[in-house]
């Protein structure tokens, strides 16, 4: 059988075209993921700078001012220093658990960003169970903390890991019940649907007004989940022993540091999505008619405006969290557990029952 050379060239060119399409497809999949990771990294750097500046203002002292303009590159300088520090391993500890623990803590939080809508068109995965995926994935972080404490072969680190797991479990249940109440109000667990349900009535359609009790419980529980003052018992900075981080140094310690700020950022974003209307401006059309007209005509400009609105609401909540850290004293462990089990859990259950009753009566 004789095969024409033109046919061979056509087959080869077709195979090359298909391989190029596959490469382009992989690149277009990776572009939004890498963009989100870059944005998250910049967001963490801004949060660290804001915390130092706000704490300096509250304590009436000078904050970072040498690394870059207004000290904005101080967090980057600290991260570079940690990257080049010696990475120590405990001689009698479990090195595998010791090394895997920080990675689990960071990866479990990074996965939560995949269901956060920064705009109607800007979300990695619009899942029907978006909010519950966040809760399920973030509940893996205490496993990493336990592994870190156990792998350190240090009784203080192990006790710190147990304390972190106990605190996380105590406050995850009220947090989940508050999210379930929002899902019932919105008739969906998708983060995009929850934001869209709040956009029907503008500013007064926010779940903040329909779920004020749930918002307060969610706010307290999210602070406890992030291990922020007054709930930073697993990693009490003023103590001589730093909990599960005692034996860590270098980049592994830096991963725990990054994980705490990633968790704070993702919690603030979910407060914005669940209670503050997400990317919706929530202003009457009469006040800014030109902005609404431009948003309708240009999708790119509209997406940028939506991202800016989401981040503005998020950083407002971040300011509250940072100010709370430098204002309130730390709770004792018995006070912390009593608050979670004896107060927040019954209140969140009652809020869920009220929400369910109101939804049934409205049918």
Given a cut of 50, is residue 286 above it in pLDDT? Answer: no
| Domain assignment of residue 254, yes or no | yes
**21, 49, 84: which is the final residue of a domain?**
84
Structure token pair of residue 8: 């061979």
Q: Is there a single domain that holds both residue 265 and residue 240?
A: yes
| Domain assignment of residue 363, yes or no | no
29-54: average pLDDT: 83
User: Which pLDDT band, with edges at 50, 70 and 90, does 296 fall under?
Assistant: low
| Residue range 104-126, pLDDT digits in tens | 888 888 888 888 888 877 888 88
Domain residues for 44?
Answer: 1-84
User: Which pLDDT band, with edges at 50, 70 and 90, does 346 fall under?
Assistant: very high
Distance CA 89, CA 80 (A): 20
Distance CA 260, CA 106 (A): 9
**51, 84, 117: which is the final residue of a domain?**
84
Distance CA 355, CA 347 (A): 12
Q: Is there a single domain that holds both residue 68 and residue 105?
A: no
Q: Is there a single domain that holds both residue 319 and residue 195?
A: yes
**62, 84, 106: which is the final residue of a domain?**
84
- At residue 59, the 3 state secondary structure works out as coil
Q: How would DSSP label each residue in 180-213?
A: HHHHHHHT---HHHHHHHHTTSGGGGSHHHH-HH
Q: Is there a single domain that holds both residue 233 and residue 294?
A: yes
Q: Are 195 and 277 in contact (CB under 8 A)?
A: yes
Q: Is there a single domain that holds both residue 29 and residue 148?
A: no
Structure token pair of residue 323: 């100010």
Q: Is there a single domain that holds both residue 166 and residue 47?
A: no
29-46: average pLDDT: 81
| Domain assignment of residue 72, yes or no | yes
| Domain assignment of residue 104, yes or no | yes
- At residue 49, the 3 state secondary structure works out as helix
Q: Give the pLDDT of residue 182.
A: 92
Distance CA 227, CA 307 (A): 27
Q: Is there a single domain that holds both residue 50 and residue 151?
A: no
Q: Is there a single domain that holds both residue 72 and residue 99?
A: no
Q: Is there a single domain that holds both residue 233 and residue 265?
A: yes
| Domain assignment of residue 142, yes or no | yes
- Residue 119's Cβ-side half-sphere holds a number of Cα atoms within 13 Å equal to 15
| Domain assignment of residue 118, yes or no | yes
Q: Is there a single domain that holds both residue 186 and residue 262?
A: yes
| Domain assignment of residue 249, yes or no | yes
Domain count, the chain: 2
Structure token pair of residue 67: 């690394």
Residues constituting the chain = 363
Q: Is there a single domain that holds both residue 139 and residue 26?
A: no
Q: Is there a single domain that holds both residue 138 and residue 284?
A: yes
Structure token pair of residue 189: 């667990």
């Amino acid at each position: 059988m004789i095969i024409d050379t033109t046919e061979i060239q056509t087959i080869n060119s077709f195979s090359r075209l298909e391989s190029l399409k596959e490469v382009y497809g992989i690149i277009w999949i990776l572009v939004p993921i890498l963009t989100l990771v870059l944005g998250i990294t910049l967001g963490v750097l801004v949060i660290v700078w804001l915390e130092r500046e706000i704490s300096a203002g509250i304590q009436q002292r000078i904050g970072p001012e040498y690394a870059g303009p207004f000290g904005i590159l101080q967090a980057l300088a600290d991260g570079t220093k940690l990257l080049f520090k010696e990475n120590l391993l405990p001689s009698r500890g479990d090195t595998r658990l010791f090394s895997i623990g920080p990675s689990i803590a960071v990866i479990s939080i990074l996965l939560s960003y995949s269901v956060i809508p920064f705009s109607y068109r800007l979300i990695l995965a619009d899942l029907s169970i978006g909010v519950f995926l966040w809760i399920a994935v973030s509940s893996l972080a205490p496993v990493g903390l336990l592994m870190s404490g156990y792998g350190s072969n240090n009784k203080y680190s192990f006790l710190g890991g147990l304390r972190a797991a106990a605190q996380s479990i105590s406050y995850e249940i009220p947090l989940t019940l508050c999210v379930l109440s929002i899902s019932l109000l919105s008739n969906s667990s998708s983060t995009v649907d929850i934001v869209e349900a709040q956009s029907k009535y503008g500013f007064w359609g926010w779940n903040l007004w329909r779920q004020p009790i749930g918002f307060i419980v969610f706010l307290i529980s999210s602070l406890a989940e992030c291990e922020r003052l007054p709930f930073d018992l697993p990693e009490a900075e003023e103590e001589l022993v730093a909990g599960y981080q005692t034996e860590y140094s270098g980049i592994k310690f830096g991963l725990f540091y990054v994980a705490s700020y990633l968790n704070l950022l993702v919690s603030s974003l979910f407060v914005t999505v669940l209670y503050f209307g997400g990317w919706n401006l929530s202003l009457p059309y009469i006040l800014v008619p030109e902005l609404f007209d431009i948003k309708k005509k240009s999708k790119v400009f509209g997406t940028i405006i939506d991202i800016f609105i989401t981040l503005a609401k998020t950083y407002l909540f971040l300011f509250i969290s940072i100010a709370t850290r430098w204002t309130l004293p730390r709770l004792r462990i018995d006070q912390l557990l009593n608050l979670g089990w004896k107060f927040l859990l019954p209140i969140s259950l009652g809020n869920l029952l009220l929400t369910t009753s109101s939804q049934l009566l409205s049918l």
